[in-house]
Amino acid sequence: MLDIKFLRTNPELVKENIRRKFQDEKLPLVDEVIDLDKEFRNAKLKGDQLRAERKAKSKQIGGLIAKGEKEKAEALKAEVTAMGDTLTALEQREAEVDQKILEIMRVIPNIIDASVPIGKDDSENVEIERYGEPVVPDYEIPYHIDIMEKLKGIDQVAARKTSGKGFYYLCGNIARLHSAILSYARDFMINRGFTYYIPPFMIRSEVVTGVMSFAEMEDMMYKIEGEDLYLIGTSEHSMIGKFIDTILPEKELPYTLTSYSPCFRKEVGAHTVEERGVYRIHQFEKQEMIVVCKPEESMQWFDVLWKNTVDFFRTLDIPVRTLECCSGDLADLKVKSLDVEAWSPRQKKYFEVGSCSNLGDAQARRLGIRVRKEDGTKYLAHTLNNTVVAPPRMLIAFLENNLNEDGSIRIPEALRPYMGGMEVIPVAE
């Protein structure tokens, strides 16, 4: 969310940013919020003047009564009462306009970084670099569900009976592999200096609206009926929410955190055939990384975060590439975003396994996350997040890239300690 002062003094810059994101329908909002801001400030000024005048006249009443000038005192009382009624109406209008300004400001997109490529949608995202050689073996790579079933590692039929579509049971060595990947990801990030967290899996609405747009919330979040609580779609939500309404000592920055959580998502909308199975599901687990830092350091941390994910996947012998998100593919709170995509030998293409985002001060402004300098002055922190690994989707890349011709799965050396020393997952008898 932008600073209203910035919008007030840079309306054309804000409009140009909206055009660069191909959201022309939002252009009138800039002028609307400027008019509302003017009305709000005028109402506040008038209210302040009225309060001062009422206070002065209230003091005069006692003096008039003391002098025996009751008629003048009563007339002045009537004036003070009328002023009170006017003030109440002004304060009510102030609150209404302030709320309307907030609603509009939450819809106007954040200013994107100058380095972001301009494009309408994800088809215009830009490949940056590839890591590892993408290989298509000379034997068939089955669909990932078929690989899992051959290893007796998944049961979707039973899950549909208990929970419906978009759920599954993992079992045997595949369930063990899933847990091993998460444990390895945890230690991988701890070894890179990040502090490990397990956060709350439910958050209040004020945190939800602080970390994401209302449209994203409606499409993603499950609400707990009768409670002001939502199931998290990623641990980033509760980890950034941890700092709500706090003033952080500058000397303690940056906060570098890595968090595990289950994630719950509606996954609204239709999906392609290759997104069946465990690609898009309602419940999964993920290891995340979060940084809260000084504004001048956020782009440096952005590079550190996505490189962590690339390094993680390469230790598991999975080829990946980085893809910079174009302006039209950026969520409104994001300043810059980069996807990490893993190679799929079956599809002969890359697919998304992680997303790194710099949100500037947008989340900090919404949640009141401020930093105090040594001289006592304060400023808004910058927040960033990135996926280390989300095993259900990552399992697809892992299984396809480590599949042997006989249907067994090779275990890369880095993961073997988490699999009890196992070097191969054998085909089930």
Give a yes or no: residue 93 inside a domain.
Answer: yes
Which structural domain range is residue 43 located in? 4-105
Q: Residue type for 143, please? A: Y
Domains held by the chain: number: 2
Give a yes or no: residue 100 inside a domain.
Answer: yes
| C-alpha dist (Å) from residue 65 to 53, 54, 71, 74, 80 | 19, 17, 9, 9, 15
Give a yes or no: residue 401 inside a domain.
Answer: yes
72 phi-psi bin (left φ>0, alpha ψ -120 to 50, beta other): alpha
Tokens of 150: 């051959």
For the full predicted model, state whether its pTM sits above 0.85.
yes
CA-nearest of 235, 243, 287 to 265 is 235
Across the range 215-235, mean pLDDT stands at: 88
**Residue 276: per-residue pLDDT:** 61
3-state SS, the chain, equals CCCHHHHHHCHHHHHHHHHHCCCHHHHHHHHHHHHHHHHHHHHHHHHHHHHHHHHHHHHHHHHHHHCCCHHHHHHHHHHHHHHHHHHHHHHHHHHHHHHHHHHHHCCCCCCCCCCCCCCCCHHHCEEEEEECCCCCCCCCCCCHHHHHHHCCCEEHHHHHHHCCCCCCEECHHHHHHHHHHHHHHHHHHHCCCCEEECCCCEECHHHHHHHCCHHHHHHHCEECCCCCCEECCCHHHHHHHCCCCEEEEHHHCCEEEEEEEEEECCCCCCCCHHHCCCCCCCEEEEEEEEEEECHHHHHHHHHHHHHHHHHHHHHCCCCEEEEECCHHHCCCCCCEEEEEEEEECCCCEEEEEEEEEECCCHHHHHHCEEEECCCCCEEECEEEEEEEECHHHHHHHHHHHCECCCCCEECCHHHHHHHCCCCEECCCC
Give a yes or no: residue 279 inside a domain.
Answer: yes
Q: Which residues, in sequence order, are CB contacts of 397 under 8 Å at separation 6+? A: 313, 318, 342, 343, 344, 351, 353
Q: Which residue has the higher pLDDT, 170 or 219?
A: 170
Question: In this predicted model, what pLDDT tens digit does every residue of 382-403 receive, in sequence order?
Answer: 999 999 999 888 999 999 999 9
Shared domain for 259 and 335, answered yes or no, is yes
**Residue 212: per-residue pLDDT:** 85
Shared domain for 87 and 135, answered yes or no, is no
CA-nearest of 385, 110, 386, 383 to 253 is 383
Shared domain for 196 and 338, answered yes or no, is yes
Shared domain for 222 and 270, answered yes or no, is yes
Tokens of 191: 């070894």
Contact of 183 with 339, CB cutoff 8 Å: no
**Residue 253: per-residue pLDDT:** 97
What integer best gives the mean pLDDT of the chain? 92
**Predicted confidence band of residue 53 (pLDDT cuts 50, 70, 90):** confident
Q: Answer whether residue 295 shows pLDDT above 90.
A: yes
Q: Answer whether residue 429 shows pLDDT above 50.
A: yes
Shared domain for 169 and 58, answered yes or no, is no
Give a yes or no: residue 83 inside a domain.
Answer: yes
**Predicted confidence band of residue 214 (pLDDT cuts 50, 70, 90):** low
Question: In this predicted model, what pLDDT tens digit does every residue of 329-387 receive, in sequence order?
Answer: 999 999 999 999 999 999 999 999 999 999 999 999 999 999 999 999 999 999 999 99
Q: CA-CA distance, 414 to 194, in Å (whole number)?
A: 19
Shared domain for 248 and 325, answered yes or no, is yes
Contact of 264 with 231, CB cutoff 8 Å: yes
Q: Which residue has the higher pLDDT, 168 or 272?
A: 168
Shared domain for 101 and 136, answered yes or no, is no
**Residue 272: per-residue pLDDT:** 46
Shared domain for 278 and 368, answered yes or no, is yes
CATH number of the CATH domain containing 19: 1.10.287.40
Contact of 135 with 350, CB cutoff 8 Å: no
Q: What's the alpha-carbon Rg for the chain, to the nearest Å?
A: 28
Last residue of one domain, picked from the residues 73, 105, 137: 105
Give a yes or no: residue 112 inside a domain.
Answer: no
**Residue 71: per-residue pLDDT:** 79
Across the range 312-332, mean pLDDT stands at: 96
Shared domain for 87 and 182, answered yes or no, is no
**Residue 72: per-residue pLDDT:** 81
**Predicted confidence band of residue 174 (pLDDT cuts 50, 70, 90):** very high
Shared domain for 291 and 416, answered yes or no, is yes
Shared domain for 231 and 346, answered yes or no, is yes
Peptide bond into 391 cis (omega under 30): no
Question: In this predicted model, what pLDDT tens digit does every residue of 59-112 receive, in sequence order?
Answer: 788 777 778 777 787 788 888 888 888 888 888 999 999 999 999 999 999 999
Q: Answer whether residue 251 shows pLDDT above 70.
A: yes
Question: In this predicted model, what pLDDT tens digit does every residue of 261-275 receive, in sequence order?
Answer: 999 988 755 444 345
Give a yes or no: residue 261 inside a domain.
Answer: yes
Q: Answer whether residue 243 shows pLDDT above 90.
A: yes
Tokens of 373: 């300098």
CATH number of the CATH domain containing 306: 3.30.930.10
